[in-house]
A and B are shown apart, each in its own frame.
Chain A
Amino acid sequence: MNAIDVKGLHKQIGNFEIKDLDIEIPKGYITGMVGDNGAGKSTLINHFTGLLKADRGDVKILGSDDIERDRENLLNRIGMVFAEDNFPEHLSPAKLEKLLTVYFEAWDSAVYHKYLDDFKVPENTRIKKLSTGEKVKLSLAVALSHNAELLILDEPTSNLAPTFRMELLDILQELMINEEITILFSTHITSDLERIADYIMMIDDGEILFNMEKEALLDTYKKVKGPKGMLDDETNELLIGKRDNSLGFEAMSNSWDTLQELFGDKVIVEKLSVDEVMYFIKNNRRDV
């Protein structure tokens, strides 16, 4: 079962376009969404929270295929951390809670205060005076305090100190013990995804380039390196995003075993990182 099911989503905003996307975010898993700035991550997320309305296509979230009709119910079940700090700055975290208790049916004050305490966010200081990291922590505390079934985190770790980033990843992993929760985690710090994501989705220029289980992705695709002049047209076809350098070539391939059979020790096959997957796929798009 999927927490989010998107079919043929199309949206035009100025010159930017999201092009007939099909996406499935499986329930009970962490899906990491990667992509450069301006790739369309936040635009896509804004469709899930009802801030944007698709020009065409279907978006089904937590079983509802009518976000407008079920908006109130859905947003009660979604915890959201925005890429930017958009809190009313004149409020303190304590006063913000008064507002949130009015909005969220399942608001858990004890959990909110526990997170504020754990994250060392001062409760009675105006949000305006909090540091960027503290604002992200506050945003996380809000998202985690109303028993959300779907957490949508838009670049939550970008402004966090490394130690707290690790702490956050632990919290998210702990939440996953309850398999009812689904997390969609957008970031460009791909090492975070390598640690916690079950699925990885890459978006570029409004298009989904891949959406795969992380282990399957990293098992299927490998980095292949070899000397110059070894490849012919046929073997070149087996490579994705090939780049030549002074020593030879470097590329990604899902036929790395075939290349190994053909060239033996002449080719070096290595495990890829998510960063490298993105790099080779983008190279490939440029070449096409």
Chain B
Amino acid sequence: MKKQLYLNLMYSKWIWMMGGIMIVINLLAAFSQSLINLQPFMPFVNLLNLIVMVYTISSIQNIHTLITKNDSHHFLYSLPIRKTDILKADYIYHALMLVFTVAVFSTYVIIGHDYHLYYGLVMIMGASLIMMSIYLIIFANSWLDSAILRYIIYFLPLFIIYMFHFMPLNNTVIHNIDLGIGWDIYRFVLPFIVLGAGIIVYAASYLYGRKKIVKSDIV
């Protein structure tokens, strides 16, 4: 399993570096906000954070897309490692990337943002776990066929959540808009239900995927 983790890290080094640089930028911004007016730079900082977190949350898909270049997966997946270890490493790796995403996000929140944003993050984490479960089950069945298409399918629900949960959550809290209990459940309770479901689906999909992967063709 360590072998596959090493491979994943090798292919995603740049994403970790990008995330690390983002953390530094966020911290610098947070500590200097009392000294200088950051408002002119905030749209740029917001966009940078969004781009970085898009990559950290989809790092596995990014790795899979990169290793299909020149059909390198024929070579890389014929190196000595068990198929179940490849799958296990990918599951662990995605969980690590979610933790890393939380780290980047946390440094972003401290630049004068409200902590309610964490509800949006929890929702996205939960949805990411569910979508990644589906992605990795397909991976266990057919490996890297149509990797780019699956990348898009993974992202679509996350984008919808960003548009219809994260953004409204932010706007309604900032402007202190009260839309009733149903809206509150949607904003503040649903994220934890989705996260809980995500964790369960993620674990169950791993148990299912490890049975499937030994029966499937890699190429």
Contacts and interface: CB of A to CB of B under 8 A. Distances in A.
A52 B81 contact: no
Nearest to A98: B10
B167 interface: no
A51 B75 contact: no
A53 B215 contact: yes
Contacts of A161: none
Contact of B70 (A51, A68, A85): A85
A103 B3 contact: yes
Interface in B168-198: none
B75 A86 contact: yes
B72 A82 contact: no
Interface size class of B (residues with CB under 8 A): 20 to 34
B70 A88 contact: yes
Secondary structure class of chain A's binding surface, majority of residues:
loop
A180 interface: no
Contacts of A49: 78
A71 B85 CA distance: 11
B210 to A, nearest CB: 11
Secondary structure type dominating chain B contacts: helix
Nearest to A100: B79
A49 B10 CA distance: 24
B80 A87 contact: no
A76 B10 CA distance: 21
A283 interface: no
Interface of B: 2-3, 6-7, 10, 67, 69-83, 85, 214-219
Interface of A: 46, 49-53, 68, 71-76, 80, 82, 84-89, 99-100, 102-105
8 contacts: A52-B219, A71-B83, A72-B82, A89-B69, A89-B72, A102-B2, A102-B6, A105-B80
Given A71-B83, A86-B73, A105-B80, 5 more contacts: A50-B78, A51-B78, A51-B218, A68-B83, A103-B79
